[in-house]
Amino acid sequence: MRCAGAHHAIAAAMAAVVGVGVLAACGSTSETSAAGDPRYPETGLVLLRLSDGSYHGSATVGTDPVAVLVSDDGGTAFLADSSPGDVYAVRLPDLGMVWKHHVGGAPFGLLMHGGSLFVSLFASATVVELDPASGQQLASHLVCDEPAVMTVDEMDRVAVACRPGKVGWLDGTTVAAGEGFGIALVGGRLWTAGYSQSTLVQMSGAGPQALPLAVSPFWLAPGAGGTILISAEGAVEDTDPGAVFSYDPMSATFRTLARPRDPDQVLQSGSTVFVAAHGDNDVLAIERGRTLSWAGGSAAVGLAADPQLNLLVVVVNAHE
């Protein structure tokens, strides 16, 4: 999931493209990724061992998957399929389909909170609330335009980053924020990404912090020791080097962790930082100054860690 993917989602939603999702058996796939590795589908899920990156299985899911989330018990992966407007629940580790629900509106972000699955609809200014067991829609909330990534704020409320430069809540409240897609709660404060301005923006805090390189921040995530992880795209998304940073709010300093092309989601699990490096067709595993390339040949766009099953769940989308 990335900036171009978000714009792609809008165009696809407006064109009313209809897609069909098909699950292959664990360890097999009916398609081959653009990078040519037969283990990896063009669109769907890839399972890697969280401990060493070894291949565990794959499944073709949907036609334009952009995000994944693992349930609290580690037994289910939820997948947002943007263009068709579908959400899938897939059983782990065997990758059998549990349910599929059509929500429309280009689903973008996924969040589990209070026993519900929240899905932001980028093209509909809406966050829908689903029952994670059945996929049944429980509620629909109008929010700010182009809602993207969600988090839970310091008051235990669902907050969503809206691309035009706002953060919205489910009661309709909005405040000004970074103009971008990313949001994270770190140190008891919300942080957003100033995509066009190459900045990191603290809500109700000091002025924007300029990134050390002229790149566009897309995804934010909590890092170790109260730091913020940032993945940022280069000027030409698919070909120019982007960057992955760690930012320490206490010292207001950045550290550059990697320079992949088109890095999408970044997250930390244990002591390892993982990056979906879509432009390089792999997943980076960064630990103690060492960077390893996992799943070479996969068009990775999203990630979710499942420590209970020792799995890293990777969303792949060769059409992004």
Widest Cα–Cα separation across the chain: 51
User: Is the model more confident about 86 or about 6?
Assistant: 86
Domain spans of the chain, in order of start = 3-317
Q: What is the pLDDT of residue 265?
A: 97
Give the residue from 50, 60, 48, 69 showing the smallest Cα distance to 296.
48
Round to whole Å and give the CA distance between 270 and 268: 6
Alpha carbons 114 and 101: distance in angstroms, whole number:
20
How far apart are the C-alpha atoms of 139 and 30, rounded to whole Å? Answer: 35
Is residue 22 very low, low, confident or very high in pLDDT (cuts 50, 70, 90)? Answer: very low
Q: Which CATH number is 3-317's, of 2.130.10.10, 3.40.50.12160, 2.40.50.100, 4.10.140.10?
A: 2.130.10.10
Q: Which long-range contacts (C-beta less than 8 Å, at least 24 apart) are formed by 30-33? A: 30/60, 31/60, 33/281, 33/297, 33/298, 33/299, 33/316, 33/318
pLDDT at 34 over 90: no
Give the separation between CA 66 and CA 101, rounded to whole angstroms. Answer: 16
Give the pLDDT mean for 108-134. 98
Q: Number of helices (H) and strands (E), helices first, in the chain?
A: 1, 28
Q: Is 237 in contact with 228 (CB distance < 8 Å)?
A: no
Q: What is the pLDDT of residue 263?
A: 97
Q: What is the DSSP track for 141-205? A: EE-SSSEEEEEE-TTS-EEEEETTTEEEETTS-EEE--SSS-EEEETTEEEEEETTTTEEEETTS
Average pLDDT of the chain?
A: 90
Instruction: Indicate the range of 1-10, 27-36, 47-56, 238-247 predicted with least confidence.
Output: 1-10
Per-residue model confidence as pLDDT tens digits over 158-177: 999 999 999 999 999 999 99
- Looking up tokens 């580790």 gives 93
Q: What is the pLDDT of residue 33?
A: 53
pLDDT at 102 > cutoff 70: yes
Three-state SS at 215: coil
- Residue 27: the pLDDT is 35
User: pLDDT tens, 171-205?
Assistant: 999 999 999 999 999 999 999 999 999 999 998 77
